[in-house]
Amino acid sequence: MTDRLRAKPPTTDTESWTRCTVRQVTTEDGGVRVSVDPPAGDSVDLQLSEAQFELFIGRLEEPGEGPSGAIDTTAWYM
């Protein structure tokens, strides 16, 4: 199972999502590992499929080049 990551604030089930900042993106065999920092607590590593990550990147306000274009962006994860 993969984690979920949003580029826009959630509109439903808002209590289940945690706001975070993307700190690192690593492409792995068959997927993408995204390290995020929530406002409180330790960093969290999310495992996304390549399709999920591409969807996330496509919804960013100002995506940068490649996977590193998501670094330092605000996101929400579940």
Which pLDDT score, from 0 to 100, does residue 28 have?
Answer: 86
Q: CA gyration radius for the chain?
A: 11
pLDDT tens sequence across 23-77: 999 998 889 999 999 999 899 999 999 999 999 999 998 766 667 789 999 999 9
Q: Look up the domain containing 45 and give its range.
A: 5-77
Statement: residue 14 has pLDDT above 60: yes
Which pLDDT score, from 0 to 100, does residue 25 have?
Answer: 95
**CB 17 within 8 Å of CB 36:** no
Number of domains in the chain: 1
What is the CATH classification number for the domain harbouring 19? 2.40.50
In whole angstroms, give the CA distance from residue 77 to residue 66. Answer: 20
Mean pLDDT, range 4-20, rounded to an integer: 94
